[in-house]
Structure 1
Amino acid sequence: MKKNILSALLVMAFGFANAQGTGSRFGIKAGVNFPNTSSDFHENENLIGYQVGIFSEIKTDERFGIQPELIYSTHKVENKFIKEGIAYNNDVKLSYLNLPILAKYFVTQGLSVQAGPQIGFLMKAEENGINITDHVKTIDLGLSFGLGYNFLQDCSVDLRYNLGLSNPIDFHVGDENYKIKNSLFSLVLGYKL
């Protein structure tokens, strides 16, 4: 996993280095995550998480661009279900280092539509305060879709939906198999340096 993270960092660094000569911008971002985790449980309560990271906006022309990002992201889900008369409650908190690579189409000056793949590298997983990192898949794949708006020349706001494609948690209770998919909405503010 460390090799994968190092590779992601090198790709980002290479992209930022190349972008500096093209007038592209490097920036920082932070925001909140609103999970929409789907699972086989009877009840799910998704709790707000956060994200912080860096990005590079590389404009290929007036209308199109690419935006690679490196984001540390967390979210939490509380699962409740009853199996054979026994109530189960568990709180699962997941932390990822995400690498989305978004294509951007600038609809008007400042307003963009964004879409692209995302790969997440598991950093930490806890269930009821106990480390379960060894029981969660280390890679989480997804697709990101959203809208972005640039304002005050150096500031931006993004509203995104990240659709989870893989099942990072797959476990058994009795003879039943439960699966969880990570999906979330995020509202993020960015600042270009």
Structure 2
Amino acid sequence: MSFLSFAWITINAISAQAEPASLFKPIVDDIQRQLPNGLKMRLPAYLPPEALALHPFVQANAKGLQVYLSPEANCKQPKCSVGGIAVFTQEGFSPWSRQLKKGTPVSLPNGIQGYYLALGKKDTDHYVLWQQDGFGFVLGTDRHSISQQELIQIAASTVVEPPLGGLDQGADVLILSQPNATGATPVTRPFP
């Protein structure tokens, strides 16, 4: 079986999932509360098994919302982040869109064009970037945490998920099986 056939089968299997990965359930309320007006967040349905031991934290400003993943439950500092996903306004996504020419095109489900990008000293961090619903999305991690293929699988699972809107936007509210267990608003390694 070729890599492209495997990727197509994997992406189509991922698109059948119906809610974000369980890791994100405790912070859905935080996301909806902090989401800047007008933005909608999509969360991955798929994460590699080793990622399920990470702890999600939310950071937001007027230009976007970031969900970061840390191996340390109590660390709310930028140095703790090993990856995350963000949604940005077009203005907030602008620094990332300038990086697209350095990226490798990646086909994501629903006809969405993404870009795989390696940055940092010796390309230590890698990302998948795409635009959807009029917003810019950035999914990233250090290259030692997961492979390029896994990062693309996570992005593919994200684009097919229904978006979360802010609580003040009158948007659809996603009801998940577990209540919010955190009240934290942590800060981790920021995206540009």
- Which TM-score applies when normalising by structure 1? 0.29
Higher percent of residues as strand: 1
Higher percent of residues as helix: 2
- Which TM-score applies when normalising by structure 2? 0.29
Flag the structure with larger Rg.
Answer: 1
